Every structure is written in structure tokens, then in C-alpha cells.
Structure 1
Amino acid sequence: MSTETTATSSNLVSIICRTIGREELCQALDSIAKQTYGNIEIVLVNSAQQNLSAFDPERYQAVVVNPEKPLSRTQAANAGLESANGTYLMFLDDDDWIAENHVEILLTAIENNNECKAVYSSTVKTEVDGTATQYVFDTDYDSLLLMRDNYIPIHSVLFSSELVERGCHFDESFDIYEDWDFWLQISQYTDFIHINEQTAFYRAGGDSDTATDDDSLRFKPEHPLGKARAQLFNKWKNKWDGDSVNQMLGNVMRLDLSEKVDELAHRLDEEIRKGSLLDNQVTDLNQKLVERETAVQDKNEKLLKLETVIQDKNEKIYQIQSKLETVIQDRDEKLYQMQSKLNEIENTLKHKSDIEKHLNIHVQQLETELYRVLSSATWRVMGPIRRLGRIFSGSASTENKQSEISENSEDTREVAESTPNPEIPAKESEKSAYDKKAMKALEEFLASDGRLDFA
């Protein structure tokens, strides 16, 4: 805990912390320990009789109040008041926290004003996780407004212990709005000073959360807030005179009108803000539109260029295709011609092959016939006659005659040794033609003095 003190005071300030052992107690105690004003007493009321050793109260030099039985919120508050020793007192529940200069600011304000015995600062409402909201309790003090509503969070107030000595305490019949009832008691003895600095933080969702977005719930008799307000008004209606009630009603009307004017002004400001935002958005959108149009124009120009290039490419492709088709057509014609010639050549070769085959057959037939003639007795009988005829004709010399005799003998042997191998006969018309040619050649041979040469 800080040991610094203000220049004008060394009075003890007791901070009463009611706890049910919630984990947020650490943050609450740490916020007290970091105060710039050092003369502080922590009164820790263990209202739920929890084991608080995990929070190490001794480290904060806290005075721990351990009751014999669990205490309600109002009972715990009164137990804290009875145990506190400070000249000035304040409350801090275990789920809330205060800024480092909270005590110093309030103490300086109350000691500089001898007429007021209570002072409070503005309070920020937060989410359950401690994130600040835009809602701030910052209403200036108005005793008539306090008759209608409670607008002062409990831990935002620092008050003199003299008020407790005069009998101010928490009404233990209240479960809700016990702090509102306590402020009404204090307002019977003193006014409040409001310091418009945000030094207290109120966590939403606590056990006594009375702040609601729907104000109508506070006036419904079946709702807990409506019942609690009715209970408070039943207690205080006989303590307020007619003049106070009338002023309160007049103040309510003025406040309602003021709230409506403020609401309308807020709405107007919001609409102006929205209009300004819309103007900015329209300007931004127009700028973006111009940029988009420029970009579109650029893309259109590029597209036109691409279309021109594509058109040129297509024309070239068409020309190439036309040339290619012509080349292919010429090639096909040449291929057709070559194929025709090839077919013609193949037919010619086939025809010649057939002719060769038939000739081979006729050759074999002639050889067979020659063999038959040479092997016949007539041929052998007529041999001397043929030789005599050649001798008398003087067409051959003696050597030639001997050679012929020798050759005729060899021919006769060769013919005798060969074996005919006739093949399948050709067609009748072709065979007849070959037969005639063969017979003619044979007759001419027989009439001559020559010989067959098969070399």
C-alpha cells in the first residue's frame, strides 16, 4: 500500500469491503493498495463465511470481520460500519474497483468544504469482463432527484463517520436499494458534492445490479425493482412533506422535459453525425466510382487492343489454314496418283509373275516333251541320217561332227537324268497359245540341224 498522503490531511479513511469470496476480490484489494493516499484502513467483511486465505488479507493489513453466521448485504454493511475506525468511510464491494487517485480526490474535496459531509465522483459502468461501456453515472447532486431515483453508486461516495454517529445505518429489511435508502438518510443531514472525474468502476451483473436499459421495469409492481421502489417509498412517504413532494414532481416534469430535449438533441447530433458519415461515405463512394470508371475505361481500351490483336491473329490463322488445306489437298492428290501408280505397278508385277509362272510351266512341259523325243527310238534311228545329211551338206567340219556326236550323247544323258515336275496348268486360252508356239518351235528345231540350249 502506498504511504503517500495529501498535503492537507492525515485522517484515516476506512474502506469497507463486503465479500462473498468472489475471485474479483483480488482486483478490488489491489486497487485499494495502489491508492495515492496512504492512510487507509481496509475492513474486509466475510459475509458468506468463506476461506479468504487465497486472497492473503494480511498482505493488505486488512481488518477481517468473520461473523458467526452468514450476513445479508445490509447486515454486512452495518458490520463494516461498526468495525471501521476511520474519520471518513466508504464502501467497495468485491466485484468493483477504484482508480489510484480516487480516495485522494474525494478526501481533498470534502476537507475543502466544511458544509458538506459527503462527496462522490463519476462512475463508469463496465461489462462483466471489466471492459468499459459508454454508460457513466455522472449526474450532479439534486436532493429532489434523489427522492425519485438512486443515481449514486455506493463505492463512488466518501462520507464522514459523524453521519453514522448521528444514526445513519443500513435498513436490514431491504434487499435492493439499501444504498439509496442510506443516501436518503445522509441527505437529511448534508448535501453531497459531485466531483466530475471518472474514478470508480461498477461491474455489471452483480447481486444488486439495479441499472437497466428498460426503465419501465422499475415501475412494474410485479418486478423486483418495482417492489423494492414501492418498499422504499412506503418507508419515506411520511417523512416527506407536501412541499417536498410537489417540488419533486415539478422537478420530475422538468427532468422529463430536459431528458426528452437531451434525447432529441442527442438524436439530432446522432443524425447529424450519421449524415456527416453518409456524406463522407458518398464522397468516398464517388471517388471509388470515378476510380472504377477510369479503371473500366482503361480495361476497355486494353480490351479493344486485344480484340484488334486477336482479329489479326485470326486472319493470319485463317490464311495459314487456307494454305494448309491447299497443301493437304495437293498432297492428297499426289498420294492418290502415287497410290494409283503403285496399284498399276502391283497389277503389272502380278501379271508378269503370272506370265513367268506359266512360262515356267511350259518350259517344264517342253523339257518333258524334249526328253520324250530324245528318248524315243525314232530320234536315235534318225540320228545317223541327220549327221549324214549335215556331212553331205558341208555345213560342219569333222571336228564339229565329233563334237556334235559327243554333245548329242551328253544331251541325251542329261535329258535322261532329269525328272519332269509339271505344275498346275494355266488357263485354257493362254495354254493353247503357248502350245502352238511350242509346237512351231519344235517343228523348226526338228527341221534344223541345231540343238536346244538351256544354259
Structure 2
Amino acid sequence: MPEISIIMPVYNAQDSIVKAIESIQRQTFQDWELIIVDDGSTDNTRSLIKEKVVKEKGRIISINRIKNSGSPVIPRNQGVKWTLGKYLCFLDGDDYWFEDKLEAQLGYMKTVGAVFCYHDLKVYFIDENQNPVREELWSQTAAPHDGHVFDFLLRKNFTPTSSIMMRKSLWEGYGPMDISLDVSHDWDLWLKIAFANQITCLNEVLGVLIRKEGTVIGDSHKRRKESRKVINRWVSYVDGMWYRKIMLYYFVMEIFDILPRSWQRWIRKIWYGQKRYK
């Protein structure tokens, strides 16, 4: 059985899927399997995946869904059902890893005895023609925390899914992801895990997350709405003052979301510091 199982949900990712898969194939740690769940793609994504499946001879498994589900949550849950590894990782079809990601993260987890680990990512913003517009670090907008971090994680999800490595036993104990949550299903699961387990941060940049410039605002509104739903599940588990601070934070962020993008970048420069922002 492989040491690591990687789950990759994809939908109409013909411009990025090959790079994502090849970033796994080039890993310095090679004891892995890749489960790709195509969520009803209508472009050339499936043909590109098929070429990789044939070359890897069983190490890459492709699952094709007939109809798009509208969210990565169902493909992620479905992909995990096929896994055989001791550890689970997730990589979206738009993103990619640096070649030492698996080796560095698995080695660190074994050294410190971690069961759930995340790391930093570069975030590349691209335009409609796939051209880079700007970049930043994930940690610039979501300060990392380590250890018993439930209270901090409840305020903001600082654990990007494409950076996660976790013991499969955690999924078996706390999963699957909630299919009623389109964009906050991963955060909801991380909270369940963090409530009873320590979360470990590997302070290294080990991959790249791709975002399309100009599409974040609509997603943010939906995410804020779902965030309140998730937070309300945990009201009785947090201090009243902390809960009020969290709700104030989300109120401020909803105002932040409607500001012009140039204002948002200026505020982030002030808040997180010029030296870490591009």
C-alpha cells in the first residue's frame, strides 16, 4: 500500500491539470497514489488525465462524474473512499506543489509526531488569459498558528486545503466533509479535528495556489455566509467574549469585501507589513 494518498478534484481544468499532475510525478518522495475525481468536465480535461493514467499504470486512478456537483466537496469525499494510504493530501487541479513537498512534510510530521500538518503557499493571481497579475503568500492574509489552535481557527481558516497532510485515521474519525457546505466544508472538518487534536504548521512554502483575479468577491460573500453557519455550530464551545470578537471580525471582513481591490491591497500592506507583501 502507498504511504500517501492524494485526492484531486477537477472541473474544466485543461489549462492547469497537466502541471498539477506533473508536480506530483516529480516529487522526491515517490510512495504515493493519486485519485483524480473529474466533476463533469466539458473541456479537454478528461483526455489529458487519461494520458497520465495510462503512463502511471495504476498509480493514478481517474473517477469520472457525469454531472458537475457545483463544489469540490462531493469529489473530495468520493476520492477519499478509494484511498489506500496512511496519510491523505489534497491538491486542486488548478494548483501545484514544489518537488520536495511530500518528503519535507511527511518527514516533519514523523519527526514531531504530528497527525495533521499544513504549510505556507504562494498565491498567484491570474487574468482570464492565464497571465500572472500579482502574487502574495498565503500567510500574508491568514497568519499561521500551531498547537491547540481551535479558537484561532474558528476566527479564520488559515489551513489551505492544498497544503494539508493528515493521518487517514483522522478522516475516519471526523469525516467526511459536510456536503451542505459548498465552500467551507474543508474548514468545518479542520475545526472538528482541531477541537480534539493539535495542528502542526511547517513554516515553509511548498506549493502554489492559483486564483483568478476579479472572481473573489462573489465567492467571499458566499464564504462569509457559510462561515457564520459553521461558527454557530460551535457557539457553546467558546468563550462569550471570543465569540463576539469573531462575529465582529466577520462584520468587518464583509465591509472589506466590498472595498475596491486597490484599497484592499493597501490595507493588507499596512496590516501585514510591506516586507512580506508583493
Asked whether the two chains share a fold, i.e. TM above 0.5, the reply is yes
Q: 1:135 aligns with which of 129, 137, 153?
A: 137
Residues 1:22 and 2:21 aligned together: no
Q: State the match for 1:57 in structure 2.
A: 52
Q: State the match for 2:76 in structure 1.
A: 77
Alpha-carbon distance, 1:112 to partner: 1.6
Secondary structure at the aligned position of 2:89 is classed as strand
Question: Quick check: 1:12–1:40 contact (8 Å CA) kept in 2?
Answer: yes
Alpha-carbon distance, 1:235 to partner: 3.0
Distance 2:133 2:198 in 1: 32
Evaluate the alpha carbon distance shift between residue 264 and residue 163 of structure 1 in structure 2; reply closer, same or farther with a 3 A threshold: closer
Larger radius of gyration: 1
Question: Quick check: 1:145–1:252 contact (8 Å CA) kept in 2?
Answer: no
Evaluate the alpha carbon distance shift between residue 232 and residue 53 of structure 1 in structure 2; reply closer, same or farther with a 3 A threshold: same
Superposed CA RMSD: 3.3
Evaluate the alpha carbon distance shift between residue 264 and residue 14 of structure 1 in structure 2; reply closer, same or farther with a 3 A threshold: closer
Secondary structure at the aligned position of 2:174 is classed as coil
- Structure 1 regions of 5+ residues with no counterpart? 1-9, 271-455
After TM superposition, list the pairs within 5 Å mapping 1:96-107 onto structure 2: 96-107=95-106
Distance 1:264 1:167 in 2: 35
1:110 aligned partner, one-letter code: M
Secondary structure at the aligned position of 1:76 is classed as helix
Distance 1:264 1:201 in 2: 23
Alpha-carbon distance, 1:190 to partner: 1.5
Count of aligned residue pairs for this structure pair: 241
Residues 1:41 and 2:33 aligned together: yes
Show CA shifts across 1:247-291 (max 9, x none).
Answer: 5667999xx9xxx9x947947x89xxxxxxxxxxxxxxxxxxxxx
Residues 1:204 and 2:200 aligned together: no
Q: State the match for 2:261 in structure 1.
A: none
Residues 1:150 and 2:157 aligned together: yes
Alpha-carbon distance, 1:191 to partner: 1.4
Alpha-carbon distance, 1:76 to partner: 0.7
Runs of 4+ in 1 over 3 A off after TM superposition: 67-72, 129-132, 245-253, 262-267
Secondary structure at the aligned position of 2:153 is classed as helix
Question: Quick check: 1:18–1:47 contact (8 Å CA) kept in 2?
Answer: yes
Question: Quick check: 2:116–2:199 contact (8 Å CA) kept in 1?
Answer: yes
Distance 2:4 2:184 in 1: 24
Distance 2:272 2:224 in 1: 30
Percent same amino acid at aligned positions? 21
Q: State the match for 2:178 in structure 1.
A: 171
Secondary structure at the aligned position of 2:99 is classed as coil
Distance 1:203 1:172 in 2: 24
Bigger share in strand: 2
Evaluate the alpha carbon distance shift between residue 205 and residue 235 of structure 1 in structure 2; reply closer, same or farther with a 3 A threshold: farther
Alpha-carbon distance, 1:170 to partner: 0.8
Q: 1:232 aligns with which of 218, 230, 233?
A: 230
Distance 1:120 1:198 in 2: 10
- Structure 2 regions of 5+ residues with no counterpart? 253-266
Alpha-carbon distance, 1:140 to partner: 2.7
Evaluate the alpha carbon distance shift between residue 248 and residue 108 of structure 1 in structure 2; reply closer, same or farther with a 3 A threshold: farther
Question: Quick check: 1:124–1:132 contact (8 Å CA) kept in 2?
Answer: no
Secondary structure at the aligned position of 2:119 is classed as strand
2:119 aligned partner, one-letter code: S
1:95 aligned partner, one-letter code: D
Moved more, 42-51 or 131-140: 131-140
Secondary structure at the aligned position of 2:183 is classed as coil
Question: Quick check: 1:16–1:44 contact (8 Å CA) kept in 2?
Answer: yes
Evaluate the alpha carbon distance shift between residue 171 and residue 120 of structure 1 in structure 2; reply closer, same or farther with a 3 A threshold: same
Residues 1:12 and 2:10 aligned together: no
Evaluate the alpha carbon distance shift between residue 250 and residue 232 of structure 1 in structure 2; reply closer, same or farther with a 3 A threshold: closer
Alpha-carbon distance, 1:122 to partner: 0.8
Evaluate the alpha carbon distance shift between residue 48 and residue 231 of structure 1 in structure 2; reply closer, same or farther with a 3 A threshold: same
2:32 aligned partner, one-letter code: I
- TM-score of the superposed pair, with normalisation by structure 1: 0.47
Higher relative CO (Cα under 8 Å, sequence separation at least 6) belongs to: 2
1:136 aligned partner, one-letter code: W
Secondary structure at the aligned position of 2:170 is classed as helix
Question: Quick check: 1:130–1:203 contact (8 Å CA) kept in 2?
Answer: no
After TM superposition, list the pairs within 5 Å mapping 1:248-327 onto structure 2: 263=270, 266=273
Q: State the match for 2:108 in structure 1.
A: 109
2:73 aligned partner, one-letter code: T
Alpha-carbon distance, 1:92 to partner: 0.5
Distance 2:120 2:270 in 1: 21
Distance 1:69 1:264 in 2: 42
